[in-house]
Amino acid sequence: MNNINGKPDPEELKELLQTDESNSTHLGTQSRHTGESSNRGLEFLYDVPLQISVEVGRSKILLRDLLKMGEGYVIELDKLAGEPLDLYVNSRLIARGEAVMVGDKFGIRLTDVISTADRVENLG
């Protein structure tokens, strides 16, 4: 399953994703926890915690500007107002969306999600 560098083989992950999607309707009727890894799909990974971050924009600044920063300092970002925010999972771009309020907290409504195949390909 692992390459020399310890990362999973993208082709095997694609196969597992396809197997998992096709078997998802059988979860209630048969157990997929057999000895063969091809039958168990990705279910064993579902509880792995992932770091999610939303990026509003980026900017490069000089060290002198960083040292001048204080309350009220404004940093110009590379995105225009109204442009979609970027959603990253473990530092990989997964989707784009718009900011929303969820009660008293911010949230993101996804408007463009990268395909499963592209996400798997970008794992390595």
Nearest in space to 116 (alpha carbons), one of 98, 90, 96, 95? 95
Residue 7 reports pLDDT greater than 50:
yes
The answer to whether residues 107 and 101 touch, using CB atoms and an 8 Å cutoff, is yes
CATH of 49-124, one of 2.30.330.10, 3.40.640.10, 1.10.1060.10, 3.20.20.70: 2.30.330.10
Question: Averaging pLDDT over each range in 31-35, 45-49, 107-111, which range is the top one?
Answer: 107-111
Q: What is the pLDDT of residue 62?
A: 95
Per-residue pLDDT averaged across 88-113, rounded?
93
CA 64 to chain centre: 34
Query: What pLDDT, in 10s, does the model give residues 45-67?
Result: 888 899 999 999 999 999 999 99
Nearest to 89 by CA among 45, 55, 42: 55
> Band of the pLDDT at 4, cuts 50, 70, 90?
low
The 3-class SS string of 5-55 reads: CCCECHHHHHHHHHHHHHHHHHCCCCCCCCCCHHHHCCHHHCCCCCCEEEE
Task: Dump pLDDT digits (tens) for 62-87.
Answer: 999 999 999 999 999 999 988 999 99
Residue 32: predicted pLDDT: 42
Whole-model pTM: value is 0.60
DSSP-assigned beta bridge partners for residue 52: 89
- The residue ranges of every structural domain in the chain are 1-46, 49-124
